[in-house]
Amino acid sequence: GGSVGRLEPGQRADIVLLRRSRVARPFIDAQTPISEAVLHRATKDAVDQVFIDGRRVVNAGKVTLIDREAVLTEIADRLAAPENAKELTARTMVAQLMPYLEAFHRDNPLPQTEGSYRYNAIG
């Protein structure tokens, strides 16, 4: 059996708190159920706080468990390092394949479509 969280002091809980103003912007009719608004309109920008096992892991939309600057510094350091043998081999292979890929796509263009989004009213 697993544990069930409770929204009480001292209890374990997993919960995501959203900013209603971010979900409702620019407008939501008063008759729209909040569950529908959350399902269809909430994005990561609406997340205000997240608690996992009763521990806050997101506060004011920012992850609290990761030092963002340290992660970005590590990424920059790793990407600035000289290529290793495998990376150099991969880069050479891609350079050799590119003329063939470009020729294929030039000779076989993608079909023209009306667009990637079609309006679908929820009635």
Domain containing residue 48: CATH number: 2.30.40.10
Provide the residue range defining the domain that includes 29. 7-65
Please give the structure tokens belonging to residue 28: 């939501």
Name residue 47's beta-bridge partners. Answer: 18
Asked if residue 58 is part of any domain, the answer here is: yes
pLDDT the model gives residue 63: 92
| pLDDT for 26 beyond 90 | no
Asked if residue 60 is part of any domain, the answer here is: yes
Asked if residue 18 is part of any domain, the answer here is: yes
pLDDT the model gives residue 119: 59
pLDDT the model gives residue 117: 60
Q: Average of pLDDT values for 28-41? A: 90
Asked if residue 113 is part of any domain, the answer here is: no
Going through 1-123 in order, the beta strands assigned E by DSSP cover 15-18, 47-52, 55-59, 62-63
Instruction: Give the chain's domain count.
Output: 1
Break the chain down into helix, strand, coil percent, rounded to 5.
Answer: 40, 15, 45
Determine contact, residues 83/91, Cβ cutoff 8 Å: yes
Asked if residue 92 is part of any domain, the answer here is: no
Considering only residues 7 and 35, tell me which one the structure prediction assigns the higher pLDDT: 35
**pTM score:** 0.54
